[in-house]
Structure 1
Amino acid sequence: MKTVKKYASILMILTLFVGFTSCEDDDTIFDHIVGRTWVGDLGFYVDGEPVESGITFKSNGFGQDEQWFYDWDQRAAILDVRWWIDHGDLYLDYGNRYPLLVLEAIYVDGRYLTGRLYSNNIDQGTVTLVMAD
């Protein structure tokens, strides 16, 4: 019985250690994304057509989202965005005309930024943004 408790304690400690070390901290995420443009689908539509976002994050907590139509080689819109990172979640505030977007538990792996997208607290699924060249 003592052996089982001993191994259970070790297993619990290892589980906690892996849990705490598997997420990137906010400063690391900040350093990976600032000054770069990240491209992907964040669920926006312009004139009833889906668009792809290209968000450039500035170090002052603001940025721009340049949106392009998928089927045309034409820019659809340029939106200002306020952004911040809190406990591994990326918040995108486009102002009163749009819902707050949250990419939860984001992870940056080289040229890819991945997280679970929520719009108005509704789960939109996993989203991956690709760093533009």
Structure 2
Amino acid sequence: MNNILKYTKSLFLCLSIIIGLTSCEDDETVFDRIVGYEWVGDLGFADRYGPLESGLYFDGNGFGTDAQCYYDDPNGEIIYSLPFRWVINGGILSLDYGNDYPLLEIYDVYVFGDELSGVLYVDGLRDGPITLYRY
């Protein structure tokens, strides 16, 4: 009986490690899954007329464009087009829009199908969970 309990604990430990390792994606996998697509969602941008939805396009050279429109616009007219630099390192996707904007970081980036998820940080402060959708 003692041996069975010992092996059960060992098996449980091994399974926990395997599940933990497979739930994280490496940076190259994330890179390959996001480059060349537009990812749409809420990054917290707004102007005096209301909140803006972001449409991020990632180029393979570390640059990208954020095409922003109002959520309630049925035509999806682009109001702002902001360039940004991006990098994925250690599971953190950093979006640098330059000196006029805060640094956005998405921690624990995970891409599954048409969804990119993680936890958004704005200038180092946790904002909350985020999901972007491939468009």
TM-score for the superposition, normalised by structure 1? 0.90
Equivalent-residue separation in structure 1 for 2:7 and 2:40 (angstroms) = 49
* Cα shift at 1:15: 0.8
> Which residue type is aligned with residue 98 of structure 1?
Y
Q: Which stretch of the first structure deviates more once superposed, 112-121 or 2-11?
A: 2-11
Unmatched 5+ residue regions in structure 1?
A: none
> Which residue type is aligned with residue 96 of structure 2?
D
Aligned-pair identity in percent equals 46
Moved >6 Å (runs of 4+)? none
* Cα shift at 1:46: 2.1
SS state of the match for residue 75, structure 1?
A: coil
Q: Contact 1:46 / 1:76 at 8 angstroms: preserved in 2?
A: no
Equivalent-residue separation in structure 2 for 1:113 and 1:8 (angstroms) = 34
Paired residue for 2:102, among 89, 99, 102? Answer: 99
Equivalent-residue separation in structure 2 for 1:95 and 1:35 (angstroms) = 22
User: Which residue of the partner structure matches residue 62 of structure 1?
Assistant: 63
TM-score for the superposition, normalised by structure 2? 0.89
User: Which residue of the partner structure matches residue 83 of structure 2?
Assistant: 80
Equivalent-residue separation in structure 2 for 1:14 and 1:80 (angstroms) = 43
Unmatched 5+ residue regions in structure 2?
A: none
Q: Give the aligned length.
A: 132
* Cα shift at 1:2: 4.1
Counting only pairs closer than 5 Å after superposition, residues 1-133 of structure 1 correspond to structure 2 as 1-72=2-73, 73=75, 74-132=77-135
Deviation by residue 1:98-122 (Cα, 9 ceiling, x = unmatched): 1111111121121111111111222
SS state of the match for residue 30, structure 2?
A: helix
RMSD: 1.5
* Cα shift at 1:48: 4.9
